[in-house]
A and B are shown apart, each in its own frame.
Chain A
C-alpha cells in the first residue's frame, strides 16, 4: 500500500530524494534484556521541497522515525539516506535543521543570539551571523524582540525563535517533532499558517511529527499514517490542497480540506469513519 502512494514522488534517477528510508527498523533494549520493537519495515521517500507529516497514536514510533533520520538514534536494521548520504554523514554535514516540541532556547542568550547559535558553532563571521539573524527575525515576525531573552517571550514566540534557529543555515530539510504541541489552538493555527508560508518561501523539505489530524492535513503534501506495536506505516494519504503560499485560514473551511481530514481519519482508524453522531471507537 505504501508503494502506490509513493508513485507521486519522482524516481531517484531523476532527482535525488531528500529522504529515502528502506526497510528500516528500530529495536530498543529495555531493562533485563527485554526488547521493544519500536519500528519495523519502514519504507518512505520524501522528495525535495515536499512537506510530509507523520501521524499516529502515542507509541507508534513517529518521533523515533524522526530521530533516526536526524541521527539522534541509529536504526537497528534497514537503510536511511538523507540527500543520498547516510543519516550520520548528513548530520555531520549539517543537511537538516531541527525543532522540538519544547523550543529549547538557551535562557542566557537573547533571541538574536539563540538564532545565531548554529552559525556561531560553525564559524560564521559576526557580521554575516547578524545579517542572517536579522533576515530570520523578520521572517518569523519578531523584529521588536530581537534583544529579549526567552523568559520574556510567550510560548508561541519562543517556538518561532526555535523555527528561525532551525532555518539559520538554510537547510534543504527541516525535521520538526510536534513543534506546536504545547501551544493553544489559536496560536497553533497562526503558527501553522506561518510555517507553510516559510516553508514554501525557503523551498525546504519538511518531516513534521504531529498527532493532530487537521494540522497534518493543513500543512502537508502527504500524510504518513502510522500504527503502534510494532510501529509501522499503515497508509500514506496524499493531500492536494495547492502550494503552501495559497494555503490560508479559509482553507480550513474548504471541502477539500475536510476530505483530507476524513481520509486521514479513516486511515488512522483502519475503517470508514461513521457519520456524525455514531462514533465507532
Chain B
C-alpha cells in the first residue's frame, strides 16, 4: 500500500471528500424529509416518544438555522453575528482542549511505557484504566474544581479553564495509553531477540525498535484522544460553569430555544467542526511520521 501512485492517492482523496459530502446531504434530506411528512405531534408508542415532533420549534428548517447563524447574537447594539461568536467560542475551547490533549497524551504514553516495562503493572493498572473511563464526567467535574480551588502556589492560582483541561485530559489519556501499549508491544519476537543479540538494553530497544514500531498504533490513538479531548472540554465547560467556550454556548443558546429554536444549532455544528479540525491537526502531525507507517516487510 505504500507504493500507491500520486494520481491514485489524489483520486482516493477526492472520492473520500465526495462520500463525506454525500453523508451531509443525506442527513439534510432525512431531516427535511421527516419534517415534511412526519406528524406534527411526533410518533408516540405506548406513551414513549419514538420520533420527535415536527413543528418549527422542535425541528427548525435548515434554512432557518443557516440564516439565523448570520444574524446578530442578540438585539443589543454591537452584537456580533452568531457564526462569528461561535468561531470565537470554538477557538477558546480548542485551546483548552489542546492543553488537555497534550497532558492526556503524555500521561497516557508514560502509563503505556510503564505497563510495557513491567508486566506486573500491565495486569495491575489496565483494569483501573478501563474503570476510570466508566466514572461519569458530570460527577468528576465538581471534585476537580473543588480540588483545583485549593491549589495556590505563590503567584500561581488555579483557574477554572485548568479544571476543564484536566477533565479533557482525563478522557484523552485512555485511547493513547491503550494504543501506545499495543504499539510498544507490537515488535515481533525476532526483532526483540535481534536487539538482545546486539546486547541493546531496554532503553536502546525502546528507542530503535519499540518507539518506531508503535507509530502505526499511536497515530490513530492520538486522533481518538483529540476527539475525546473535545468531547471532554465541551462537557466539562458545562459542568464546571466555565464561560467563553463552545460547550457553555450550546447551553446558553438552547435556553433561548422556545423563542429562538434555530439559534442553538450553530454552536452544535461548531462543536462537530471542532472535533473534525482537531482530528485533522493530529493527522497533519502524523504526516511527518509517515516513514514509520510502512508495512511489515513480507518475506
Within 8 A of B (CB), among A141-184: 149-153, 155, 158-159, 182
Does chain B have a CB within 8 A of A39?
A: no
| Number of A-B residue pairs with CB-CB distance less than 8 Å in the complex they form | 71
A104–B194 contact, CB under 8 A? yes
User: Interface stretch among B56-64, B195-203, B271-279?
Assistant: B195-203
Does chain A have a CB within 8 A of B3?
A: yes
Which residue from chain B places its CB closest to the CB of A92 in the assembled complex?
B199
Within 8 A of A (CB), among B242-299: 291-292, 294-299
A158–B299 contact, CB under 8 A? yes
B198–A121 contact, CB under 8 A? yes
By size class, the interface of chain B is: 20 to 34
User: How distant is the Cα of A151 from the Cα of B188 in the complex, in angstroms?
Assistant: 16
User: How distant is the Cα of A96 from the Cα of B197 in the complex, in angstroms?
Assistant: 8
Binary contact readout B195-218 vs A (1 if CB under 8 angstroms, 0 otherwise): 111111000100011001001000
Does chain A have a CB within 8 A of B24?
A: no
A151–B204 contact, CB under 8 A? no
Does chain A have a CB within 8 A of B13?
A: no
A94, A96, A107, A122 — which one has the most chain B CB atoms within 10 A of its CB? A107
User: How distant is the Cα of A152 from the Cα of B209 in the complex, in angstroms?
Assistant: 20
User: How distant is the Cα of A150 from the Cα of B208 in the complex, in angstroms?
Assistant: 16
A70, A96, A104, A153 — which one has the most chain B CB atoms within 10 A of its CB? A104
Does chain A have a CB within 8 A of B12?
A: no
Q: Which of B198, B209, B295 contacts A106 (CB 8 A)?
A: B209
Chain A residues, CB < 8 A from B212: 106, 108
Chain B residues, CB < 8 A from A118: 198
User: How distant is the Cα of A159 from the Cα of B298 in the complex, in angstroms?
Assistant: 11
A107–B188 contact, CB under 8 A? no
A121–B200 contact, CB under 8 A? yes
User: How distant is the Cα of A106 from the Cα of B190 in the complex, in angstroms?
Assistant: 11
Q: Which of B190, B198, B294 contacts A151 (CB 8 A)?
A: B294
A151–B298 contact, CB under 8 A? yes
Does chain B have a CB within 8 A of A103?
A: yes
How many of chain A's residues have a CB under 8 angstroms from any CB in B?
Answer: 30
Which residue from chain B places its CB closest to the CB of A149 in the assembled complex?
B294
A158–B297 contact, CB under 8 A? yes
Does chain B have a CB within 8 A of A6?
A: no
A122–B209 contact, CB under 8 A? no
Within 8 A of B (CB), among A98-132: 98, 100, 102-108, 117-118, 120-122
Chain B residues, CB < 8 A from A102: 188, 190, 299
A152–B191 contact, CB under 8 A? no
Does chain A have a CB within 8 A of B193?
A: yes
Chain A residues, CB < 8 A from B209: 106
Does chain A have a CB within 8 A of B5?
A: no
Which residue from chain A places its CB closest to the CB of B194 in the assembled complex?
A104
Given contacts A122-B198, A149-B2, 8 further A-B contacts (CB under 8 A): A91-B197, A103-B299, A104-B194, A107-B295, A150-B294, A151-B296, A155-B299, A159-B299
Q: What residues make up the interface of B, taking CB atoms closer than 8 Å to A?
A: 2-3, 188, 190-191, 193-200, 204, 208-209, 212, 215, 291-292, 294-299
Q: What residues make up the interface of A, taking CB atoms closer than 8 Å to B?
A: 70-72, 91-92, 94, 96, 98, 100, 102-108, 117-118, 120-122, 149-153, 155, 158-159, 182
Which 9 interchain pairs have the tightest Cβ spacing?
A: A150-B297, A104-B190, A107-B294, A108-B292, A158-B299, A155-B299, A103-B299, A151-B297, A98-B197
27 interchain pairs (CB within 8 A)? A70-B197, A71-B197, A72-B193, A72-B197, A91-B197, A94-B198, A94-B199, A96-B197, A100-B194, A103-B297, A105-B299, A106-B209, A107-B294, A107-B296, A108-B215, A118-B198, A121-B198, A122-B198, A149-B294, A150-B297, A150-B299, A151-B2, A151-B296, A151-B298, A153-B297, A158-B299, A159-B299
